[in-house]
Amino acid sequence: MSTYAILTEAHDLKYLGINQIHTLPSDKDVWEFVPTKVDKIIRVNGIVLDKNSTEIKGIGKGFIYYKGTFTERAAIIISSDRNVYDEVDKSKSAVIRDYSSRMSFSKIGAKISLSTPTIPDFGIAALFKKSDQKYWRFNCPHCGCCQHMEWEKNVDFDFKKYICRKCHLELTPETIRSGRWEAKYPGRNISGYWIPQMIATYRTAKDLIKELEDAEDEQYFYNFILGLEYLNPESQISAGLILKNLIAEKNDEKDCVIGVDVQLRELYVIVGNEKGIFGIAKLEDGPGKDKWDRLAELVEVYEGRYVVIDAHYDTNSVLKFAKRFPYKVYMNWYKEDPKKIAIIRFGDEGKFTDKPKEFEEEIKVLTDRNRIIDALIDDLRKGKKIKFNFQRGDMRIDELISHVKKIYSRTVTDKVGEEHREWASLGQDDFFHALIYFKIALEKKLRYEE
């Protein structure tokens, strides 16, 4: 598919003179991909370039730009008629969105997204779900059943051969090659193709069964061989981590701290103390009171000692609220410590800048997102610090668990091409982040008391 993209780009650069952007996960990928693939194809096809470097190919007014996504430079100064996003799932989605905005004034405005899928509802898997979903379909020569290849239905694992899902007789390479692309949802305006190695007829069922046997884990096999998304249960946070920390004791609801995640219409709130969490609530605007007024009532009723609020989404509203409760409310940003020393950095405990500290600086909190999640999970596993004054089956705990289970760990590539693990989300996870902010507030209280 990358070769298809290169040929399409080179042809349209020469004959149409359009501007194009081709992204890869990192700058390192660009410097490996262009000399070994792009340059060879352009040379073999006899295309003479006016501009020829690793990052830019040009003829006349038309250019192809090759860019990594783990860099924030130059994304806003390039206009484009077509963008090719290569290895979408390993790329930085925010930068891809920036490059998409560079096609606003193009009459073509085409996007091509290519990737091995990774997890459900993410990256290329999410795009394919929105597409017309083309599958390679063929008819069984024995029973006439129209079908596409699926691992569990079309493989005889005992005799290591491909079989018809209906009559279970053998499928030959000629039968598979006789197929055609058919869309499951032909009316949709995104054209999507699922291309598993099962339809590459030089790969036999025996080959792929051996691939599965030799694979380090199932995720590799499902992603790279079958072209399917896969989420290893071990990469998710289990419901058991919450349930094991439920306690029956009644909370005195004193010396409370509060964690708040901010969204457009709601505030997601966790209230508790060292004895446990007793409040899990979603605050919305109501008659005569907005969500911030309702949060103020909670702070007053429970005499909140420390309140940590997500400052990413609506910074001005959070700052305005903090001024109602000076030095009780702290504003949190997820930001990694460049020295990799502290997980949580409170503005009133150290310097962020050389400037004199103002109120906004003193209530600022910078937290390493990945490491605070690791620390929270460690607390839950060891049964330390965080308990829940709820019974099993409580709807509030069930909703918290549903948000917690949206968090999973994945491996990503950074700007220099190095892989590392990070925590990502599959969907709504607001109460999980409120729980993190509760932990930060509790840490602040413990530090102060010490």
Is the pLDDT assigned to residue 425 strictly greater than 90? no
358 vs 227: CA distance, rounded Å: 53
C-alpha 319 chain-centroid distance: 28
- 262 by DSSP, 3-state: which? strand
Q: Note whether 304 and 298 are within 8 A (CB).
A: yes
98 vs 67: CA distance, rounded Å: 12
Taking alpha carbons only, the member of 326, 364, 321 closest to residue 345 is 364
307 vs 327: CA distance, rounded Å: 9
Q: How confident is the model at residue 74 (pLDDT cuts 50, 70, 90)?
A: very low
pLDDT tens figures, 299-355: 999 999 999 999 998 999 999 999 999 999 999 999 988 888 899 999 888 655 555
**pLDDT score at 71:** 64
**Sequence-ordered list of residues with C-beta below 8 angstroms from that of 78, at least 6 positions apart, any chain:** 19, 21, 65, 99, 102
Q: Sheet holding 82-86: strands in order across? A: 51-52, 56-59, 62-68, 20-24, 82-86, 110-114
Average pLDDT over residues 198-210: 96
Q: How confident is the model at residue 422 (pLDDT cuts 50, 70, 90)?
A: confident
Tell me which of 382 and 134 has the higher pLDDT: 134
Set out the domains of the chain in order of their start, with CATH numbers.
Answer: 1-115 (3.40.50.300), 240-449 (3.30.420.240)
Token pair for residue 243? 């349930």
Average pLDDT over residues 115-130: 90
Q: How confident is the model at residue 8 (pLDDT cuts 50, 70, 90)?
A: very high
Average pLDDT of the chain, as a whole number: 91
Pairing of strands 51-52, 161-162: unpaired
Q: How confident is the model at residue 419 (pLDDT cuts 50, 70, 90)?
A: confident
Q: How confident is the model at residue 426 (pLDDT cuts 50, 70, 90)?
A: confident
pTM of the model: 0.64
Average pLDDT over residues 180-199: 97
Average pLDDT over residues 57-86: 83
- The partner residues of 20 in beta bridges, in order of sequence, read 64, 82
Tell me which of 233 and 450 has the higher pLDDT: 233
Is the pLDDT assigned to residue 168 strictly greater than 80? yes
**pLDDT score at 415:** 59
Q: Note whether 108 and 141 are within 8 A (CB).
A: no
Distance from the first to the final alpha carbon of the chain: 60
C-alpha 164 chain-centroid distance: 37
Determine which of 72-76, 210-214, 312-316, 444-448 has the lowest per-residue pLDDT on average: 72-76
Token pair for residue 333? 């940003």
pLDDT tens figures, 360-373: 889 999 999 999 99
344 vs 336: CA distance, rounded Å: 9
